[in-house]
Chain A
Amino acid sequence: MMAYLLAAVTALLLIAGSLFALAAAIGLVRLPDLYTRMHSASKAGTVGSGLLLFAAGLYSQDPAVVARALAGFVFFLLTAPVSAHLLARAAHRSGHDLGAISVRDDMRNR
């Protein structure tokens, strides 16, 4: 029974994670400009791969693997916002304006 539960949770995590990743990818394609796409990539993408990692950790039933999966996830959490920040900042500074749909840009007049 435990095995079934474990398998079910793992399967759920796998499907959920990959769907999050897919959603992020769709967002990447659909969203109108760079800055909005970044939301998609830095959130849905991170959570998606985090869930998949966690699924792997869980299914292994090995605390070491779980710990590593978690460590990996934490690491993504550390890096994802930084890379988003760096990229957005660089893009904005090098003259990539917000898309036409945008309503406000407080950074433009600095």
Chain B
Amino acid sequence: MNTLIFRTVAPFLTALMLLFSVFVLLRGHNEPGGGFIGGLIAASGLAIFGIARGVAAVRRALFFHPLSIAGCGLFLSTAAGLLSILVGVPFMTGLWIYPKLLGLEVPLSSVMLFDLGVYLVVLGAITSIALALEEKEMG
């Protein structure tokens, strides 16, 4: 949809949506949200970008093929589960560390890694679908 207005607005919207998606991802553990919804929002943002500026622009922007991103996410999630073998606890046991970063305690956990994986999978897969459909549309 080659309209000047949409082309101009889309990047801002996409950036906002990506930002919001990370926000939703990170707070999911305590409030509604999480990796899946975050991923959906991010993918929606990229879809808007793609509709406005073409699939090629999104592909350039992502650098990796969306499915590789999904694969990476799946890998991270499984890895988050497998980490526990190092500690001698069962698969998928939540592991938490609290490193001090610039004087502030930052909670990091395998659970977050897992949710990040979910986010990436959803982002990658849905973007891949959207781009494939969109590309077809043009062709």
Q: Do chains A and B touch in the complex (CB under 8 A)?
A: yes
Interface residues on A, range: under 10
Q: How far is the CA of A89 from the CA of B1 in the complex (A)?
A: 10
Q: Which of B1, B12, B13 contacts A86 (CB 8 A)?
A: B1
Q: Are B12 and A85 in contact (CB under 8 A)?
A: no
Q: Are B6 and A86 in contact (CB under 8 A)?
A: yes
Q: Are B1 and A78 in contact (CB under 8 A)?
A: no
Q: Are B5 and A82 in contact (CB under 8 A)?
A: yes
Least CB distance from B31 to A in Å reads 11
Number of A-B residue pairs having CB atoms within 8 Å of each other in the complex: 18
Q: How far is the CA of A44 from the CA of B113 in the complex (A)?
A: 43
Please give me the residue from chain B that is nearest to A75 by CB atom: B16
Please give me the residue from chain A that is nearest to B1 by CB atom: A86
Q: Which of B3, B12, B13, B16 contacts A89 (CB 8 A)?
A: B3
B contact patch SS: helix
- In the assembled complex, which residues on chain B have CB atoms less than 8 Å from the CB atom of A90? 1
- In the assembled complex, which residues on chain B have CB atoms less than 8 Å from the CB atom of A75? 16
Q: How far is the CA of A102 from the CA of B3 in the complex (A)?
A: 25
Residues of A44-91 at the interface with B, using a CB-CB cut-off of 8 Å, are 75, 78-79, 82, 85-86, 89-90
B106 within 8 A of partner (CB): no
- In the assembled complex, which residues on chain A have CB atoms less than 8 Å from the CB atom of B13? 78-79, 82
Q: How far is the CA of A11 from the CA of B5 in the complex (A)?
A: 37
B9 within 8 A of partner (CB): yes
Please give me the residue from chain A that is nearest to B5 by CB atom: A85
- In the assembled complex, which residues on chain B have CB atoms less than 8 Å from the CB atom of A82? 5-6, 9, 13
Least CB distance from B85 to A in Å reads 39
- In the assembled complex, which residues on chain A have CB atoms less than 8 Å from the CB atom of B5? 82, 85
Q: Are B3 and A85 in contact (CB under 8 A)?
A: yes
Q: Are A78 and B3 in contact (CB under 8 A)?
A: no
Please give me the residue from chain B that is nearest to A74 by CB atom: B16
10 further A-B contacts with Cβ under 8 Å, apart from A85-B5, A86-B3, are: A75-B16, A78-B9, A78-B12, A78-B16, A79-B13, A82-B6, A85-B3, A85-B6, A86-B1, A86-B6
